[in-house]
Amino acid sequence: MTTLAILEYPDPRLRTKAVPIDAVDDAVRRLADDMLETMYASRGIGLAATQVDVHRRLLVCDVSPEHNRPVVLVNPELVLREAPAICEEGCLSLPGIYASVERAQTIRVRALGRDGAPFEMAAEGLGAICIQHEMDHLEGRLFVDYLSELKRQLIRRRLEKERRQRANTGERSARATVT
Ligand code: ZN
């Protein structure tokens, strides 16, 4: 397995709309495994293919406390969204940035699994928020898009400053639990 490079905001490639996956073959499974490894290595709870510059409809997540319940969703579709909830989110493509976003507290999603078989799953709380966040990535949407233009500009400037500092010191900043 390989750890993949994660695109960071405001990289325009994060705005690409992902295309459906025709068949879950070995290449798709390998990508899902690499994405899981990348997500765990970055201490994230979710990752969309868009974030590793692959513009196909695939996401992975694991919100279990032991990080041992990986979920792979190919061509995910929301079939139910219920109960709005406001929750603080982060994103591996926006290191160190957190903001409150309104999502559905309970969802039902239909997808193909790692084995290519269709299935439906219910998710609530953190799991539901994570899946909605990752599905937004597949549309080229980021959680900062829910904020005001002013806030987004401040975040952009802060990230650019931090990236320059990182480049100067040759260090990478520590990351908290983010998706
Ligand atoms: Zn994200």
For residue range 38-79, list pLDDT tens digits in order: 999 999 999 999 999 999 999 999 999 999 999 999 999 999
CA 95 – CA 91 distance, rounded (Å)? 6
Mean pLDDT for 17-26 is 98
Q: Which residues of 162-175 are buried (b: 16+ CB within 10 A; e: fewer)?
A: eeeeeeeeeeeeee
- pLDDT for 125: 95
Distance from the alpha carbon of residue 177 to the mean position of ligand 1, in angstroms: 11
Distance from the alpha carbon of residue 101 to the mean position of ligand 1, in angstroms: 12
162 is catalytic: no
Mean pLDDT for 129-138 is 98
Distance from the alpha carbon of residue 38 to the mean position of ligand 1, in angstroms: 13
- Choice among 120, 134, 139, 149 that is catalytic: 134
CA dist 66 to 28, 124, 126, 132, 169, Å? 25, 18, 15, 22, 33
pLDDT at residue 173 tops 80: no
- pTM recorded for the entire structure: 0.92
Q: Which residues contact 34 (CB under 8 A, 6 or more apart)?
A: 1, 2, 3, 4, 52
Please check whether residue 129 is in contact with residue 103, taking contact to mean a CB–CB distance below 8 angstroms.
Answer: yes
CA 37 to chain CA centroid, Å, is 14
Q: How confident is the model at residue 168 (pLDDT cuts 50, 70, 90)?
A: confident
For residue 167, what is the enclosing H or E element? helix 149-169
